[in-house]
Homo-oligomer: A and B are copies of this chain.
Amino acid sequence: MIKPSYNKVTDEIIEYLKDICGDNYVISDRDSMESYTHDELSPVEVKGEYPEVVVKPNSTEQISRIMNFADENKIPVTPMGGKTGLAGGMIPVYGGIGLSLERLNEKIEVDEDNLMVEVDAGVTMNDLYEAVEKKGLTIPIHPTTGDSQVGGTIAANAGGESTLKHGVMRDYVKGLEVVLPNGEILKLGGKLLKNNTGYSLMHLLIGSEGTLAIFTKAILRLYPSSEESKFIIVPFESGQSAIKTVSEMIKKGIMPVGIEYLERETIIRGQQKVNENWPCDIGEATLMIFVSGKNEDEILDKAQEIMQICQQRGAVDAFLAFKSKEIDKILKIRAGIAEVIQEGNVTGHRSGDLVVPPSKIAEMIDRARTIFFESNLEGIFYAFGHAGDGNVHIEGKLPDEGIIDWKEVKEVRDKWIQEAINLGGDITGEHGIGLIKKAELRKSKSEEEMRLMEGIKNLFDPNNIMNPGKIVPRDDEVEDKYIKI
């Protein structure tokens, strides 16, 4: 493994960057750079790292000049969007330039004739939703927090809870403008629903997490304004019967927006956390089924059909959350579950998001539970998953104090990953590889796949200046420093 060597950002370089971006948009004092050191995973899980300088260009042109300069001078560049990631993908591990897209946020051009929007990469998802909804249109997925930026959301190919019905970001991206490490600007795709003109560089770049190019603009497909959505809580006697019901439902032609899978123990902890009561107090496993429709009547019709199917498959009750008070209470408990899982020391990456074929969720959780309790670790086991799309969040919550055997934690995590792969799954459904799952990536991919990925990285970024240390780094020494083992 070769450790990359980079040049330092000198005062002269800072002056040059100011020439490009303007004096106010180049920051190099440490205090002002703190928020550019970590995403939402860190600093709790992974320590942050300071860039040498933060630049805030506001045009593709400026970005092109910065990249070209950085490439010629061997200075690493880490693109920074909303910093809402959960894999440390924007931590500038080699210092260098932190390139924040926050000022590239002017253009949101809704094209009502083509039902597309052309948008600057630094626009937040919230601002984008607002702008398209004003025109009676929508992007039906809400894959991340609204503070994430369009570019980052595409770079991470974010998914979210409604993947079952509405897919992931990749499904909405029709065009991308990107700046390559050498400063070249590429315009890929367009306002086109079909395009088979050569290899799809666009689809290669989607999900590349800022390691191949900086995204500067995107063209996204729009849909008529979103339907209303309610949800149904259905407890089952066992996890297996809950999971089996999911495909039954879809086969009958009902396509819920999303389906969450929750286990009894997990719900109880969530209740305690926020001091609220879950509507049903029975069942080992519960499905929370999001149903959408044009109006309440249509939703009610679908809900009744769903509840009928569930009853035939071993549901022990069903609760339709229609009133906003009920809905709020349930969502509060669900947020409580997420919170309680993320507190203190945990076995996973706090953002572990293994993915398995949807039918294997209950089995995956059972196996993970067994592995956890067979280890020498002490703690509470939590699991919940997007039953609709196979994404599972598994966590062993460890004691807040005392000595934790991090080597054993890593062993447990490795075994979980191996089980996911054995079940036909993979290591990350939506959060991505970033900084923290590089070693794990090698468990999922063959040597030949790694060779191709490394070759692609080398083709786009021969000087390895583009978000180095992520996905397919040329060194491995970065790893240990950031991951507790």
Name the B residues within 8 Å of A428 (CB-CB).
Answer: 195-197
Q: Does A415 contact B (CB under 8 A)?
A: no
| 9-residue interface stretch from A52-60, A228-236, A250-258, A305-313 | A250-258
Contact among B198, B427, B445, B453 for A453, CB-based, below 8 A = B198
Assess whether A441 is interfacial by the CB under 8 Å rule.
yes
B429 touches A196 (CB 8 A): yes
For A377, the chain B residues whose CB sits under 8 A away are: none
Q: Does A356 contact B (CB under 8 A)?
A: yes
The reply to whether B192 and A390 contact each other, CB–CB distance below 8 Å, is: yes
**Which single member of B114, B194, B357, B444 contacts A163 (CB below 8 Å)?**
B194
Quick one: CB contact mask for A413-452 with B, threshold 8 Å, 1 for yes? 0000000000011111111110000000100111011001
Contact A445 B198 (CB under 8 A): yes
Q: Is A477 an interface residue (CB 8 A)?
A: no
Indicate whether A302 reaches chain B with its CB closer than 8 angstroms: no
User: Is there contact, CB below 8 Å, between B190 and A424?
Assistant: yes
Give min CB distance, A226 to chain B, whole Å: 10
Interface: A18 (CB within 8 A): no
* Cβ–Cβ contact A430 & B196, under 8 A: yes
Give chain A interface residues in 77-117, CB to chain B under 8 Å.
111-116
Q: Does A467 make an interface contact (CB < 8 A)?
A: no
Which residue from B112, B156, B200, B433 sits with its C-beta under 8 Å from A207? Answer: B200
Stretch at the interface among A41-49, A119-127, A368-376, A454-462: A454-462
Whether, in the assembled complex, A355 has its beta carbon less than 8 Å from a beta carbon of chain B, the answer is yes
Q: How big is chain A's contact interface, by range?
A: 35 or more
| Residue A157 interfacial (CB < 8 Å) | yes
Query: Which chain B residues lie closer than 8 Å to A197 at the CB level?
Result: 426-428, 433, 441, 444-445
Contacts A186-B448, A207-B200, A449-B186; A194 near B355 (Cβ below 8 A): yes
A115-B250, A116-B357, A194-B159 as given contacts; A456 in contact with B199, CB under 8 Å: yes
Q: When chains A and B are docked, how far (Å) is the Cα of A180 from the Cα of B264?
A: 47
Q: Are B425 and A186 neighbours in the complex by a CB distance under 8 Å? A: no
Is A34 an interface position by the 8 A CB rule? no
The CA-CA distance from A439 to B105 in the complex, in Å, is: 37
Across the interface, do B195 and A224 meet the contact criterion of CB distance under 8 Å? no
Chain A interface (Cβ within 8 Å of chain B)? 111-116, 136-137, 156-157, 159, 163-164, 167-168, 170-171, 180, 184, 186-188, 190-201, 203-204, 206-208, 212, 224-225, 244, 247, 250-253, 255, 294, 355-359, 386, 388-391, 424-433, 441, 444-446, 448-449, 452-453, 455-457, 459-460, 471-472
Closest 6 CB pairs of A and B: A113-B359, A203-B203, A194-B429, A191-B357, A193-B389, A224-B253
